[in-house]
Structures are given as structure tokens and as C-alpha cells.
Structure 1
Amino acid sequence: MHQGLVPQSGPAKIAPVFYARPPMTGKAFNALPVIAGHTEAGSTRKGRLAVLADDVRLLVAEDLRATPDPLGFLLNIGLPNDAPLLTSNDLDSFVYPLVSRLTAASRRPFASVWASKRYARTSSAAVFQAHPTEDPGGVQQLQVRTTASIATTTFRQQIRSQIAAAPAFPTGDIALQLSFVVGPRRVWSNLWKVTIDSLGPLLGHPVNIHGERPDGRITDLGLHCVVDPDVGHDVVIAIRMNPVA
């Protein structure tokens, strides 16, 4: 079913859907120029990410054509040993341009995106057919609903007000899964960064005094989407957080 579209027979149910992480590593590539800032004079990190996205698109192009819906994407980022693991190289900053480029090239949406970062010599990427799985549960299990545009501060405020009673996650790296329920007109990848940025209180940084990026603590990330016309312009987000084993 295209992008996990909810069947509309019987009473409408607004329920998040989670997809299984695939048992594969993917095809290897080099992400070091983006991570370490190795570049020609005048280029920016955004530009280097765009180049990387094109390289990955070519790497998985054949698999993208052959893989049935619903589509999933897997990204494993390898960091050099001198790179800070928990305070830089946010996973959402890598997957957004890659998935956007793959979606534009194939004209097919993705239902599930997985990403991780570890100390390793190489990075890898893969396209796979996504398969629904059970709710993973978690140390933190929350669900929020927003009614505002992501272009407004109200979107963030609505999320933060609904998670305000939850305690901050203990120190260390985090495995985070977010499952979005959106209407058919939403581009769900546009929701990733603003949603994760809104989770600062859960990640232990309600006020970012020192310019730290709390989402750097996320070393395993799962993003999932189901389209349900009954939510209209609202967005329902299921949040599942666990320590990384």
C-alpha cells in the first residue's frame, strides 16, 4: 500500500505505524569530506551534503528502481575516532538531503528511514522494502498532536507543552523512533528537524545555553510515516526513546 496508506473502511483510526529495521548494512561510501569539513575553498557544509546526496543516489539507483513499495532507506554514518559522537553530526542533517534527493529522482515517497552513527572507517546506505512491525515501546513513550504550520513557533510550542511533564532522558546516547501520521498533502520529511529540535527538554537541554546540539545524542534514529486523510492538516507523532545498547 502506497506509503503505508491507512485503509478507510469502517471507523477512521489515527494510529502511528512502525517499520522494522532491515537486517543489512548497505553499500559502502565515504562521508569523511562532510564530517571533517574537507572541501574546496568557498563550499559550505550544505553544499557538501548536496554532493554526498548525489553520490548516494547513484550508489543506490538500481536498488531504488527494483525495490517495491513501501520504500525504506537505511543510512549508517562512520565517524573518525577524533569526531565527537554526541555533540555533532546530527543524523537528521544527513538523512534529510539524501531522502529528498532520492524522492525527487524516483518520484516515490519513503515510508521508513533508519540512520545510525558509529566510529567506523566507512559509511553505508541501502534502499529496502519496508515491513510494518510492532510498536517498539521505550523508556519514554509519548504521543503528541500538532495543529500549526512548521513555519511557526507554535508547532514547537505545541510539542513542548505536551511533553513538559516527561523527565529528561538520562545521560548517554539515545535510540529514537518517531512515527508520523500526516494528511496526503504533507511532505513528512519537512517535519523531521523541527520535531527533533522540539524534543530538547527530553534530550536534557531545555535551554541551549552553550550552543550545544542536544539531538547529537541520537545515535540511532528511526523515522516512519503513515498517511491518513482524516488528520487533515494536523500531525500526530508517536515518540519512542531508549538508551542505545
Structure 2
Amino acid sequence: MSVFLDQAEQDMRDHLRAREPWTLELDVGLPAATRLLHHHDLDNYLYPLAQRLGSRGIASARARKRHGDRSLARLDTARPADPPLDRTFHRLQTTASAGTTAYKQQIHEQLTASGALPGSPVSAVIGFRCGPDRNWLNLWKPTIDALGPLIGEGNRMWSPRDGAIVDLALHLLVDPARRWDVEVFVGVAPARE
């Protein structure tokens, strides 16, 4: 993993001069024999790279996976954008620490109560509204772990079929009034082929 991170950081070194906040984009190319919907979870590619670049500078991160010979990483200045119109967004409130099971339970219960239906493959957009002292990267994995009602439950608790996400976008909105509570907006749609 460190070789990947070193190479990606080197490839983006010139872009690190872009004004913050940044948007990080990653296109993951996988061999043709790879089953795209099983494993190769996009947050596992994005998280270490975002952590290496620094969570304070990143306001948006997106990854896509496909069959291909190469992967690409880009970094640029983030710009406001309207949410996609092709999906229904679920507005979720959490009060528990992201490092606890209670955080995942709060998200999972709200999604289950919404009557969300799983599908595959999916494009997922997750927005986080939280206070300025939060390291929002630490919200990514526990939030995705709770998305079973939207993307399909796995064979054990907090292990949904997140390999089914072939396009993942994560966005941050800093709101000083939120302090430690987190508001999460989640929208999924069938992935475009």
C-alpha cells in the first residue's frame, strides 16, 4: 500500500499547490477477470490517500472502479455543486461517536425505517455536515458499514455489500453549530454502465 500512496502523492505533487479546499478523484482500473461487485471497496482506496494528503484540506472525494489497465488520481480545488437529481437522499442524524456501534446503529435504523431498497451495482453520494473539529475521514467507513438497507446486507453485521458501490462520492460541509453531532445525507442510484 505504501508504494501506491507514494506514487499517487508523487503524481499529484504539482496539484498540491491548488487552493484548498481540495477535491480528490480516483479512477481505479482493475484487471478484466476481476469481479467488480465483490470486494475492492472504494473507500479502502480513497481513505489512505486522503489521509496521506491531509483531512483538513479535502472537502470532497470521489472514486470509481472499472475494468482497465491503469488507475488515475487527481486533486483540484473543490467547487460547490448541486446534488445529483437522479436519486432520493436520506437525511440522517447521529449523536454517537463514529467509533462506536451506536453510530452505525443510528444510521442503519433510520435507513431501515425509510423503507430503502438495496440494489446493485450502485452509485452512492454521501454528504457529511459536521463541526470544524471533526476529522471527517473517520466518518467514512462506519457510515458505509451501516448502509446495508440501501446497498444490500452482507453475511455479518456491519459488513454490507459495499463492493456493489462502483461510484462513490463523499462531501463535507463544515457547520460550526453542529459541534460533534453529525448530519449525514445519503443517496444511491443504479450505476450507469
Corresponding residue of 1:155? 103
Is 1:120 matched up with 2:68?
yes
Deviation at 1:192, TM superposition (A): 0.4
Q: 1:194 to 1:210 in 2, by over 3 A?
A: closer
Amino acid at match of 1:241: V
Q: Distance in 2 between matches of 1:225 and 1:72?
A: 10
Q: Where does residue 50 of structure 2 map in the other structure?
A: 99
Offset, 1:110: 0.4
Q: Which residue does 2:180 correspond to in 1? A: 233
Aligned to 1:73: 24
Structure with larger Rg: 1
Which range is displaced more, 50-59 or 190-199?
50-59
Show structure 1 runs of 5+ residues with no match: 1-48
SS at match of 1:92: helix
Residue in 2 that maps onto 1:59: 11
Counterpart of 2:49 in 1: which secondary structure? helix
Alpha-carbon distance change, 155 to 243 in structure 1, aligned in 2, over 3 angstroms: same
| CA positional deviation for 1:62 | 1.1
Q: Deviations over 1:127-165 (max 9, x none)?
A: 111111112144332010111111211101111111112
Give, in whole Å, the separation in 1 of the partners of 2:3 and 2:102. 33
Structure 2: how far apart are the matches of 1:212 and 1:243? Answer: 20
Are the aligned partners of 1:181 and 1:227 in contact in 2 as well (CA < 8 Å)?
yes
Q: How high is the TM-score relative to the length of structure 1?
A: 0.74
Change (3 A) 1:112 1:160: same
1:191 is displaced (CA, Å) by 0.5
Identify the match of residue 165 of structure 2 among 218, 229, 234: 218
Q: CA deviation at 1:168?
A: 4.6
Amino acid at match of 2:39: S
Query: TM-score, length-normalised on structure 2?
Result: 0.92
SS of corresponding position for 1:233: coil
- Matched residue type, 2:161: P
Runs of 4 or more consecutive aligned structure 1 residues displaced over 4 Å after TM superposition: 209-213
Once residues 211 and 158 of structure 1 are traced to their aligned partners in structure 2, the CA distance between those partners, rounded to angstroms, is: 12
Structure 2 residue 153 is matched with structure 1 residue 202: no
Give the AA of the match of 1:142. Answer: H
Q: Indicate the percent of aligned positions where both proteins have the same amino acid.
A: 39
Q: How does 1:1-80 map to 2 (within 5 A)?
A: 49-65=1-17, 67-80=18-31
